Amino acid sequence: MNMNRRQFFRVCSAGLGGSSIALMGFSPNAALAEVRTFKLARATETRNICPYCSVSCGVLIYSTGDKSKNAPAEIIHIEGDPDNPVNRGTLCPKGAGLRDMIQSQNRLKWPEVREAGSSEWKRISWMEAFDRIAKHMKADRDANFVAQNEAGVTVNRWTSTAFLASSAAPNEAGYLTVKTIRALGMTSIDTQARI
Amino acid sequence: MTNHWVDIKNADLIFVMGGNPAEAHPCGFKWAIEAKKHRKARLVVVDPRFNRTASVADYYAPIRPGSDIAFLGGVINYLLSKDKIHHDYVKAYTNASFLIDEGFAFEDGIFSGYNDEKRSYDKATWKYQLDKDGYAMVDDTLQHPRCAFQLLKAHYSRYTPDVVQKVCGTPKEAFLKVCEYIAETAAPDKTMTNLYALGWTEHSVGSQNIRSMAIIQLLLGNMGMAGGGINALRGHANVQGITDFALYAQNLPGYLAVPSEAEPDLQTFLEKKTPKMLRPGQMNFGQNLPKWYVSLHKAWWGDAANKDNGFAYDFMPKLAGASDVLSIFDQMYQGKVHGFLCQGFNPLASVANKKKVSDALAKLKYMVVMDPLATDTSEFWKPHGEFNEVDPGKIATEVFRLPTTLFAETSGSFTNSGRVIQWRWKAADGPGDAKDDTEIMASLFLKLKEMYAKEGGAYAEPIQKLTWGYRIPNKPSPEELMMEFNGKALADVTDPKDPTKVLVKAGEQLPSFAMLRDDGSTTCGNWIYCGVWSQAGNNSARRDNSDPSGLGQTLNWGFAWPVNRRILYNRASADLAGKPWDPKRTVLKWLGDKWGGNDIPDMRPDAKPEELVMPFIMTGEGVGRLFAVGLMAEGPFPEHYEPFESPLETNPMHPKNPKARANPAARVYKGDMEAFGTAKDFPYVGTTYRLTEHFHYWTKQSKINAIVQPEQFVEIGEELAKEKGIAAGDRVKVRSNRGFIKAVAVVTKRIKALDVDGRKVHTIGIPIHYGFKGATKPGFITNTLTPFVGDANTQTPEYKAFLVNIEKA
């Protein structure tokens, strides 16, 4: 039986006779594809941007749930945003795999530490992580902060702890990062932009 | 990019060299195909590999890796000797007519002022001749022997088609064909766009590769035009934004000069860094530096930054000298860096010479990795078979690994390489206990602030006084942060011409950087982003994609910096009288009383054409620079130098001068010079590249990408394969003087041997994407092979041309 999706549903909606056509195995391919459309129709659509290359393609992220309390969203599908003037709905083989990146087996879920000389990771709390890291930073800063150079010029810098920043972070995270690390006196700073 | 992605469709010639957008930027490359389809544009590709961009090109020419300047120098010579330049444009909008200092000279590969021991130049002679008023002297006839035009002509006269063939290995006929196509765009109504990426930057002469193209585009009159420009395709989705925010040492947000110890106070700093006017009546827009700089300090330190303390000038750390990824790892290697915070970065894989990076990390006291994924770097201390042979018992580095959210799990803005800032919305929470980068940075900072308040310690004032008006202190929202870096008025901002007229009321968001003041009455965390969140709200979230001009400008989609301008230098798209060079592609025109058209004017809006305010407003002279005054590390004109590891013993341009063999101004650290290999042991050229299916060292963590490109391979030509007895699918070992990798051999017709300076040069292509962590098959890190040397200006490592050997594994 050769019919398109719309015809198929028109027939089905005509009554029991219609649905029995499907039962008899005459469902067209398009009807099977319809299952996915239905799932997306119930999903929440969020506009975002592919984080890979600097074409920065617009994407539509579909997630289950309606963002109500106790209904955590799960991302079920990502496709190109047709409104975006640059990618106009397209995604490349990199971007087409975005969902698998978000759901990678190698996502980190909690803070960990590898102690000096140890061969393994150990789970720690955020509080312990911030506490220990801040202690390291303060000890290094206090010991190595240079207020004045040899010529007596005020330089107020801390070069012995370095910071490499992400080019995949949003502008707002980048801004807060540069603001805080400069305030700490850091000058050993770089980003992926160079490589 | 000076232009933007969609604008590529407006070109007549798309010239791709130093990039491979069909594979690395597929969705942006569609605009090149659009130009071919709808404008009958020509696509020309010059590359060592016949890549997928080449496969859809109208013309392809091969080139030896690392010889781009010889090729482009040849193009410059062709254009000048055949008189294929846009004369009116060159005369008016470039420094062709400017007279250059009598002391400037070039001899056997070295410019005047070279210091052999320091490997650097004293640039005192790389400047204009000035008249008694301090303005540059010009000769409008372009005949004066010291004018930039004549010096340019003389410099590139050596780059003949025969020399190009000898140095680049490009057949002369192919080179001349490319020149012919490029020369066609010298017509005022024809444009060439240039697309490049890491294929140009990742060389010890990377910046000069791009400078060469800048000279060509100025000679052809293609800057400022729709379908023209110099377009860096760039890396990550927000690499442009993070560069704009200066997450690196040598600048502050908005490319502001950063103070160094040579400028002890604010006044000295501003006097030294504020550019001087070099021709009468020009905009010299950089003269506003004091407004931008003071507003940044006000954004960061609020009331603690005031006139009496030089707006807290001492709070800003003074630059210590070189500080880039290579110098940082060298310092770490020497034991001078003890702590390292690594935010969304995988340096073990992405920095040159993995062994040196790994040894450097092992010397740290502590390392903090903030990342959504388990990266190779975070496990540098962990044995992973032959891919990472280390002994954890001997590594004392304490490593923290903090889980962060990914793009889909945060809101905020990204800036694409066309400078368009676009807002993104959060779709889901991150897994487990993952936190946003902002929360991690805020929490660490607040913890330190609290410790300094309790315990005291080294100079805590800049920490205690840092503005922190966020509603939830440990979770600054992206909206609050964008409003902050946009900036606001602290007091009423008035019109300088009429102080009774209030332009912006106290407390309001600023509409543009024209409102910034140097008296402390405005704040702005990044002047070029000013306007992105005005009183009208979040302009980066605008989603009107209408395009009335048909040029793809979409001025109401997102917000482009600066001031929503889509094509930089767009004043140059019209002639001196303000009439567009090509009325069919009008970007800007003089409307009789003001500038208007299809973009935000890159010009004072009421500057009458007869005032002769020139288009390149960021230079003190208002024109584009054929001769680069004092800015480049290795000379005002690009010159061909061999890669540090080259199959040639000498530079064929200067065979008798060993000092001019490789970039004379490139920085080489102790131990790294010794780690360079020679052609005797490593006879083949290695060049790294990227695959369509992978993005850097990131997608190897994603299952579907791992399925489509599961395993490390190297690509060799049929001739070399035959010589070495290697068949497609064989396991091979590729060695450099720094280490080896093993991979599967792919034997192709895409890389051919070239005849260079009387010998045959084979090139081996090496994709970068693999490592020991991820969903792909565990593999070696490609940067085990690459040399620890970078471009003399940017320190971008030389990943595109080095020496290797290959054998069956």
The string of pLDDT tens digits covering residues B89-111 is 999 999 999 999 999 999 999 99
Letter for the amino acid at A118? Answer: S
B142 phi/psi in degrees, rounded to 5: 60, 20
Cα separation, B44 vs B597, in Å, equals: 30
A175 contacts chain B (CB < 8 A):
yes
The answer to whether the beta carbons of residues B567 and B2 sit under 8 Å apart is: yes
Q: Long-range contacts for B89-93 (Cβ within 8 Å, ≥24 apart)?
A: B89/B188, B89/B218, B89/B221, B89/B572, B89/B581, B90/B149, B90/B218, B90/B219, B90/B221, B91/B140, B91/B142, B92/B576, B92/B614, B92/B623, B93/B218, B93/B221, B93/B223, B93/B572, B93/B614, B93/B615, B93/B616, B93/B623, B93/B624
pLDDT value, residue A29: 54
Residue from A173, A149, A147 nearest A158 by CA: A147
CA dihedral sign of residues A192, B802, B631, B319: positive
Cα separation, B605 vs B570, in Å, equals: 12
Q: What is the CA radius of gyration of chain B?
A: 27
Nearest chain A Cα to B402, which residue? A111
B789 contacts chain A (CB < 8 A):
no
pLDDT > 80? residue B432: yes
**What mean pLDDT comes out for the span B550-554?**
98
Cα separation, B172 vs B409, in Å, equals: 53
% of chain B beyond a pLDDT of 90: 99
Residues 340-369 of B with CB under 8 A from A: 340-345, 347, 350-351, 365-366, 368
pLDDT value, residue A34: 55
Q: Which helix (H) or strand (E) holds B114?
A: strand B114-115
Cα separation, A188 vs A134, in Å, equals: 18
The answer to whether the beta carbons of residues B721 and B747 sit under 8 Å apart is: yes
Owner of token pair 């002509």 = B153
Tens of pLDDT along B496-532? 999 999 999 999 999 999 999 999 999 999 999 999 9
Cα separation, B406 vs A48, in Å, equals: 11
Question: Is B406 close to A186, i.e. CB distance below 8 A?
Answer: no
CA dihedral sign of residues B202, B206, B212, B217: positive
Who has greater pLDDT, A13 or B24? B24
Q: Specify the pTM.
A: 0.95
- Token pair of A43 as six digits: 């999903």
CA atoms within 13 A on the CB side of B514: 13
- Report chain A residues whose CB lies below 8 A from the CB of B529: 171
pLDDT > 60? residue B364: yes
**Where are the strands (E) in A41-188, listed by range?**
44-49, 58-63, 75-80, 112-114, 122-123, 146-148, 154-157, 161-165
Residues 6-25 of A with CB under 8 A from B: none
Question: Is B339 close to A106, i.e. CB distance below 8 A?
Answer: no
Cα separation, B399 vs A113, in Å, equals: 6
* Nearest residue, CB atoms, B428 vs list A74, A126, A185: A74
pLDDT value, residue A1: 43
Question: Is A54 close to B443, i.e. CB distance below 8 A?
Answer: no
Q: What is the CA radius of gyration of chain A?
A: 27
pLDDT value, residue A65: 82
Residues 590-629 of B with CB under 8 A from A: none
The answer to whether the beta carbons of residues B430 and B567 sit under 8 Å apart is: no
Cα separation, B337 vs B330, in Å, equals: 9
- Report chain B residues whose CB lies below 8 A from the CB of A52: 236-237, 695, 698-699
Nearest chain A Cα to B419, which residue? A54
Cα separation, B573 vs B578, in Å, equals: 9
Who has greater pLDDT, B494 or A35? B494
* Nearest residue, CB atoms, B526 vs list A108, A147, A175: A175
Residue from B750, B763, B747, B765 nearest B691 by CA: B765
A187 contacts chain B (CB < 8 A):
yes
Strand bridging mode A75-80 / A112-114: unpaired
For an interface test with A, which of B337, B424, B465, B692 has the most A Cβ atoms less than 10 Å from its Cβ?
A: B424
Cα separation, B63 vs B171, in Å, equals: 9
Comparing B7-16, B318-327, B682-691, B742-751, the range with the smallest average pLDDT is B318-327
For an interface test with B, which of A45, A69, A108 has the most B Cβ atoms less than 10 Å from its Cβ?
A: A108
Nearest chain B Cα to A168, which residue? B238
Question: Is B392 close to A133, i.e. CB distance below 8 A?
Answer: no
The answer to whether the beta carbons of residues B87 and B785 sit under 8 Å apart is: no
Cα separation, A5 vs B182, in Å, equals: 52
Nearest chain B Cα to A162, which residue? B340
Tens of pLDDT along B293-337? 999 999 999 999 999 999 999 999 999 888 999 999 999 999 999
Q: Which helix (H) or strand (E) holds B724?
A: helix B718-724
Residues 668-707 of B with CB under 8 A from A: 692-695, 698-699, 701-705
How many Cβ atoms sit within 10 Å of the Cβ of residue B467?
18
pLDDT value, residue A186: 98
The answer to whether the beta carbons of residues B14 and B8 sit under 8 Å apart is: yes
Cα separation, B606 vs A140, in Å, equals: 55
SS (H, E, C) B212-229: HHHHHHHHHCCCCCCCCC
- Report chain A residues whose CB lies below 8 A from the CB of B466: 179-180, 183
Question: Is B438 close to A94, i.e. CB distance below 8 A?
Answer: no
Question: Is B202 close to A119, i.e. CB distance below 8 A?
Answer: no
A145 contacts chain B (CB < 8 A):
yes
Question: Is A105 close to B699, i.e. CB distance below 8 A?
Answer: no
pLDDT value, residue A70: 83
- Report chain B residues whose CB lies below 8 A from the CB of A136: 339, 365-366, 398
pLDDT > 80? residue B115: yes
Question: Is A163 close to B343, i.e. CB distance below 8 A?
Answer: yes
- At what angle are helices A29-42 and A5-13 packed, to 10 degrees? 80
Owner of token pair 């020991």 = B772
Nearest chain A Cα to B421, which residue? A171
Going residue by residue through chain A, which has 195 residues, state the pLDDT in tens, using 9 for 90 and above: 455 544 544 544 444 444 444 444 455 555 555 555 567 888 999 999 999 999 999 999 999 987 788 888 999 999 999 999 999 999 999 999 999 999 999 999 999 999 999 999 999 999 999 999 999 999 999 999 999 999 999 999 999 999 999 999 999 999 999 999 999 999 999 998 888
The answer to whether the beta carbons of residues A160 and A144 sit under 8 Å apart is: yes
pLDDT value, residue A165: 96
B778 contacts chain A (CB < 8 A):
no
Mean pLDDT of chain B: 97
Helix then strand then coil, in percent of chain A rounded to 5, is 40, 20, 40
A107 contacts chain B (CB < 8 A):
yes
pLDDT value, residue A27: 52
Burial class, B130, CB count within 10 angstroms (exposed 0-12 / middle 13-18 / buried 19+)? middle
Cα separation, B227 vs B511, in Å, equals: 29
Q: Which helix (H) or strand (E) holds B415?
A: strand B412-415
- Report chain A residues whose CB lies below 8 A from the CB of B202: 195
Nearest CA to CA, how far is A75 from chain B (Å)?
Answer: 7
- Token pair of A59 as six digits: 């994407």
How far CA B325 is from CA of A181, B250, B663, in Å, comes to 16, 12, 19
Question: Is B241 close to A174, i.e. CB distance below 8 A?
Answer: yes
For an interface test with B, which of A44, A49, A56, A88 has the most B Cβ atoms less than 10 Å from its Cβ?
A: A56
pLDDT value, residue B663: 98
- Report chain B residues whose CB lies below 8 A from the CB of A54: 25, 233-240, 416-417
- In DSSP notation, B142-207 reads S-STTBHHHHHHHHHTT--HHHHHHHH---HHHHHHHHHHHHHTTSTT--EEEEE-HHHHSSTTHH
pLDDT > 60? residue B120: yes
